[in-house]
Amino acid sequence: MTLFKHILVPTDFSETSREALPYAYKIALTNRSKITLLHAITMFEYDPHDKRHSFAAMDDLYAGIEASANAHYAEIIEDANNHSRDLVIDKVMQRGISPHEVISGYAKEKNADLIVMATHGRSGLSNILLGSVTEKVIQTAPCPILVVKKPDHADLKKLVFNTILVPTDFSESSQKAMEYAVGIAKKYRAGITLMHAVEVRFHPAYYAGGVESIFDLDPDVKPRIQARLEAFLQSFDVSGIEVKTKVTDGDSHNEIVKLARSEQYDLVVMSTRGHDEIADYLIGSTTDRVIKRAPCPVLVMR
């Protein structure tokens, strides 16, 4: 079973963006996938209504940029060959108005099955303040995105997906996330934990009275959610997979990150959309918060 036939790895050649490469190599070797390295050459001051701000000015610089990019690509290809001669890697440069538009557009045009990228690139801290390219790709990409942080080691044999955490709010979007998690679990012989966090806001008077959890007020909540999780699982073929369920209470993003860290999960699989899409858009989605704080890679899909 091939989950991902075509893996797209955007790069700005920064050290951070290269953190995605070991994960791309691992997945490509397991699935016999093709990797495409994509470097977006953009002109942020482009204005279609002002002829002075056009790509004509970039034509003079393009030859130099291309030569520099090819040199970086040669380094990456050499690194890939050091890992395995079986890796099939293409390298592409495209011009566009913004990096995320180039990345998402190319992924759609070439039917990429997966985008693998780091949490941020050259601009570093400003991404946290202004919204990173990665976040914009997550909002626009036509396929799942694996968002990674620097691995603890470069040995692909030690880069594993043995344990997978799948948060769910029982929405249709979270069903899609579970489908991918099941496919990955079967491919890598991994176990899955399906979790749901019950988010309830209490009036301060309840805390004064010693109530700290919805489970204190209504002991039946936990078994009811547990039953929903079991029913949710009935829609998937999880034969041969060790599946656990977990019910917690608290803010979803905090509970997901806390569980991923305490149980040392190798991968979180989740959707960017849930029941509360408008609130997520206004205050920052659960997914965005998990990506920024998770101790492991996060596979997200729209």
pLDDT tens for the chain, 302 residues: list them. 568 999 999 998 888 889 999 999 999 999 999 999 999 887 654 444 445 445 545 555 666 677 788 889 999 999 898 888 899 999 999 988 889 999 999 999 999 999 999 886 554 443 433 347 888 899 899 999 999 988 877 778 888 999 999 999 998 889 999 999 999 999 999 999 999 998 765 545 444 445 556 665 667 888 999 999 999 999 999 999 999 999 998 888 999 999 999 999 999 999 986 555 444 443 348 888 899 899 999 999 88
Same domain for 127 and 22 = yes
Looking at residue 250, its pLDDT comes to: 83
Closest CA to 23 of 35, 14, 40, 5: 35
**Domain membership flag for residue 154:** no
The answer to whether residues 132 and 203 belong to one domain is: no
Domain limits for position 73: 6-148
Domain assignment present for residue 280? The answer is yes
- DSSP 3-state assignment of 165? strand
Residue 200: inside a domain, yes or no? yes
Q: Are residues 172 and 252 in the same domain?
A: yes
The phi and psi torsions of 118 (rounded to 5 degrees) equal -80, 170
Determine the pLDDT at residue 39. 93
Which of 90, 123, 148 terminates a domain? The answer is: 148
Contact 192, 182 (CB under 8 A): yes
Say yes or no: 141 and 165 in one domain.
no
Concatenate the DSSP letters of all residues of 262-294 into one string: HTT-SEEEEES--TTHHHHHHH--HHHHHHHH-
- Which amino acid, residue 99? P
Same domain? For 96 and 41 the reply is yes
Provide the pLDDT for residue 302: 80
- pLDDT at residue number 173: 86
Q: Is 23 contained in some domain? A: yes
Can you give the pLDDT at residue 274? 58
Q: What stretches of the chain show up as alpha helix (H) in DSSP?
A: 21-31, 56-83, 99-109, 125-130, 133-140, 172-188, 204-208, 214-217, 221-233, 252-262, 277-283, 286-293
Q: What is the count of structural domains for the chain?
A: 2
Helix, strand or coil, per DSSP, at residue 70: helix
- The CATH number assigned to the domain holding 239 equals 3.40.50.620
At 270 the pLDDT is: 94
Residues 131 and 181 in one domain: no
Q: Are residues 10 and 139 in the same domain?
A: yes
